Amino acid sequence: MNTLYINLSHLEHNYHHIRSIIGSNVKLMGVVKANAYGGSDVEIAAHLQKIGVDYLAVATAQEGRQLRQNNIEVPILVFYPQFVNLETLFEFELEPSIYSFSLWDHLIEWTGRKKIKNHPIHLKFNTGMNRLGFELNQITELKEKLSNSVFDIRSIYSHLGYSQESSPFDLIDRQTEKFKKVVEKFTDHFTERPLFHLINTSGVFNRPDLTFDMVRCGIGLYGYANHSRWDQSLKSVMTLESKIMQIRHVKKGEYIGYDKAYRYEKDGRIAILPLGYADGISRHSGNQKNKVWINGHLAPIIGNVCMDLLMIDVTHIDCQEQDTVEFFGTHQSTSLFAENSGIISYEQLSNIGSRIKRKVIDHL
Ligand SMILES: *Cc1c(COP(=O)(O)O)cnc(C)c1O
């Protein structure tokens, strides 16, 4: 059986560590998009709410609805609202990020028809990453539209594309300069000053001078910060474990799994585990690219990873059927496991499939 353990006391440790870096005057937004990076969004959001997070963020309206339907009451920013599901946004008091005039016009038209007033929204600026967002040269037009709009502007933000790069780094500086111009243009524009925010987790560790009014942290809350040195002060929240289904002795010359991907040069022993690429263990982990932790040893994944199963070499490891195997989290860092598969911690965590049972614990 496969289990993803979610350690709330580690979440709490990371939360307080991030708070200690940003100081008491800066707000903390907990990012719980994509099922809280593959964990379990409702449980994680509920715990963050309990310990005092200021804001939460999700990617889509449906993710926000799921939280609202489970008693999450803190303000929720929706990073990437699309032109659909507007009903959901308003019905569940979700706060959309507006990134273009087309979305703006669409929302105005919709809220006008529904006679909705004073709904909280956020404005997103592109400062160099060239993803979603308004451009700086649209500020004048934006201000005109704002002056007779029905929205309540809660925050204005941008996103760094290189926040983990060690300083000085000219592209961070360029983005920051642009964002400071945005701040300057809007600071005195509203009766109630909106929050300004720029940085994510690696920004907090790398450039704590750029916190502005709030930081948006996802991966850091889950125990990783894109740099092994920064990771040291954090604790891994998610641990993926499995149990050996079967142990098999193989003879010299025999092949393992699909496509003759692995051949035993000597007699050996393999263990078969009940998870595969459908559960988020990439095929790039196979063929000895990656290892799993078992009874104090690391066993290589051999052959091609299948959809539902994978094989490990346990020729030299003392183990038996039903023994526990850890993929990552407690004994092996998720960043390292991800790196061995050619991906990043974010991708490994958010790939953890829906078939894997989530189990919330207070300690490991
Ligand atoms: C996902 C996301 C974050 C969180 O980033 P981390 O590196 O996980 O802290 C912050 N801001 C935006 C706009 C995001 O999409």
Average the pLDDT over 77-87 and give the result.
94
Q: Is the pLDDT of residue 364 over 60?
A: no
Tell me the three-class secondary structure of the chain, residue by residue.
CCEEEEEHHHHHHHHHHHHHHHCCCCEEEEECHHHHHHCCHHHHHHHHHHCCCCEEEECCHHHHHHHHCCCCCCCEEECCCCCCCHHHHHHCCCEEEECCHHHHHHHHHHHHHHCCCCEEEEEEECCCCCCCCECHHHHHHHHHHHHCCCEEEEEEECCCCCCCCCCCCHHHHHHHHHHHHHHHHHCCCCCCCCEEECCCHHHHHHCHHHCCCEEEECHHHHCCCCCHHHHCCCCCCEEEEEECCEEEEECCCCEECHHHCEECCCCEEEEEECCCHHHCCCHHHCCCCCEEEECCEEEEEECCCCCCCEEEECCCCCCCCCCEEEEECCCCCHHHHHHHCCCCHHHHHHCCCCCCEEEEECCC
Which tens digits make up the pLDDT trace of 95-125? 999 999 999 999 999 999 999 999 999 999 9
Which residue lies with its CA nearest to atom 6 of ligand 1? 218
Average the pLDDT over 53-67 and give the result.
98
What pLDDT shows up at residue 97?
Answer: 98
What pLDDT shows up at residue 264?
Answer: 96
What pLDDT shows up at residue 147?
Answer: 87
Ligand 1 centroid from CA 34, angstroms? 11
Quick one: which atom of ligand 1 is closest to the CA of 124?
13
Which tens digits make up the pLDDT trace of 266-292? 999 999 999 999 999 999 999 999 999
Task: Tell me the best of 28, 157, 216, 346 to mutate to test the pocket of ligand 1, counting ligand atoms within 8 Å of each CB and taking the most.
Answer: 216
Quick one: which atom of ligand 1 is closest to the CA of 201?
9
Average the pLDDT over 225-239 and give the result.
95
Task: Tell me the best of 15, 31, 211 to mutate to test the pocket of ligand 1, counting ligand atoms within 8 Å of each CB and taking the most.
Answer: 31
Ligand 1 centroid from CA 196, angstroms? 15
What pLDDT shows up at residue 169?
Answer: 87
What pLDDT shows up at residue 276?
Answer: 98
Residue labelled with tokens 């451009």: 135
Token pair, residue 13, equals 């440790």
Catalytic residues: 33, 258
What's the chain's average pLDDT? 96
Report the distance separating Cα 8 and Cα 204, nearest Å. Answer: 21
Q: Is the pLDDT of residue 85 over 90?
A: no
Which residue lies with its CA nearest to atom 4 of ligand 1? 218
Ligand 1 centroid from CA 347, angstroms? 13
Which tens digits make up the pLDDT trace of 305-334? 999 999 999 999 999 999 999 999 999 999
Which tens digits make up the pLDDT trace of 178-207? 999 999 999 989 989 999 999 999 999 999
Ligand 1 interacting residues, C-beta cut-off 6 A: 31, 33, 79, 159, 200-201, 216-220
Ligand 1 centroid from CA 125, angstroms? 15
pLDDT band at 363 (very low <50, low <70, confident <90, very high): low
Residue 75, number of CB atoms within 10 A of its CB = 18
Q: Is the pLDDT of residue 41 over 90?
A: yes
What pLDDT shows up at residue 150?
Answer: 86
Quick one: which atom of ligand 1 is closest to the CA of 159?
13
